[in-house]
Amino acid sequence: MNKKLSNFMSYVLIVVGALLASFSVACILIPNDAIDYGTAGIAIIVSKLTGFNLSLCVFFIFLPFLIFGFIILGKRFGIKAALGSLVYTVGLEVFEEVSFEINTEHFLAVVFGGAILGLGLALILRHDGCIDGSEIFANIIIKKISDKTGKNFSMSYLLIGFNACVYIAAFLLINRNSALLSLLVYVIATAIIDHFTDHFEAIKQVTIITKEPDELVKAIKTELNKTCTMMDSYGAISGENKTLICYINYFELSKMKEIISRNKGTFSTVTTIDEILR
């Protein structure tokens, strides 16, 4: 019952996060000449240049990333990403019709909007969802590289490069002020996200203590295409154990939790790794 309630609440919080994000973009950022980042930023630029409906631009630009995410990252991730993106898209359509005005300078309004956007995205990411294609794109590229090389890489540089392209496009196609205000949104939103998700773009170290490691190792290899370091350990009460150490990225964490939950009698921790030296 507790697990079902926890799963239900994760979907509820993804919906809340998507509504916060769409409110921030539609009611605060766009009216103050700023844009979102990632694929949503691309959609806003396309909408501004063509006059097409914003929510439809967001939906169709995100759709291919969502499909690839569903195929490569799994059904559970795909369902949560689809829910978040659908609510975000509908939220944009609804909030664009809402009369909302902040009687302050653009700078302060953008700071406030960036904080709300960051809070909404943090809620979504914290509960294994996603509403931005740049994160799925970065994860897929990193996964492909990791599968071929056997090494783990952070998504940070890919995300920074992707969003740099978005802001350069805003600078060239919209105006300089819009690009600079949008960069401020990115800085504030990512600071909020990092605070609540512990640097989601960094590598995660999962440490698992168990008496029966064979099924865990097999599932991790089969479902995540990852290997583990295995060490002998000893618990004061439990006695002899095996300690497994595995490195994954943030979007693989949901699948890892699912694997661990199927293997009872384990104790696990997750820590953030800034850098791996080889």
Q: Residue 103 in contact with residue 6, Cβ under 8 Å? A: no
- pLDDT class for 3, splitting at 50, 70, 90? confident
CATH number of the domain to which 223 belongs: 3.30.70.120
Q: What is the mean pLDDT of residues 155-169?
A: 88
| Residue after which a domain boundary falls, among 197, 216, 234 | 197
- pLDDT class for 133, splitting at 50, 70, 90? confident
Across 61-65, 119-123, 145-149, least confident range: 145-149
Q: Can you give the pTM of this predicted structure?
A: 0.82
pLDDT value of position 69: 80
pLDDT value of position 278: 67
Domain count, the chain: 2
Domain containing 45 equals 2-197
Q: What is the mean pLDDT of residues 188-200?
A: 85
Would residue 278 count as lying in a domain?
Answer: no
pLDDT value of position 121: 92
Residues 86 and 149 reside in one and the same domain: yes
Would residue 22 count as lying in a domain?
Answer: yes
Per residue in 261-270, pLDDT (tens digit) is 888 888 999 9
Residues 158 and 261 reside in one and the same domain: no
Per residue in 207-242, pLDDT (tens digit) is 999 988 888 999 999 888 888 999 999 888 888 899
Residues 15 and 132 reside in one and the same domain: yes
Residues 134 and 90 reside in one and the same domain: yes
Residues 81 and 181 reside in one and the same domain: yes
Asked whether the predicted pLDDT for residue 91 surpasses 90, the reply is: yes
Say what percent of the chain tops pLDDT 90: 33
Residues 108 and 232 reside in one and the same domain: no
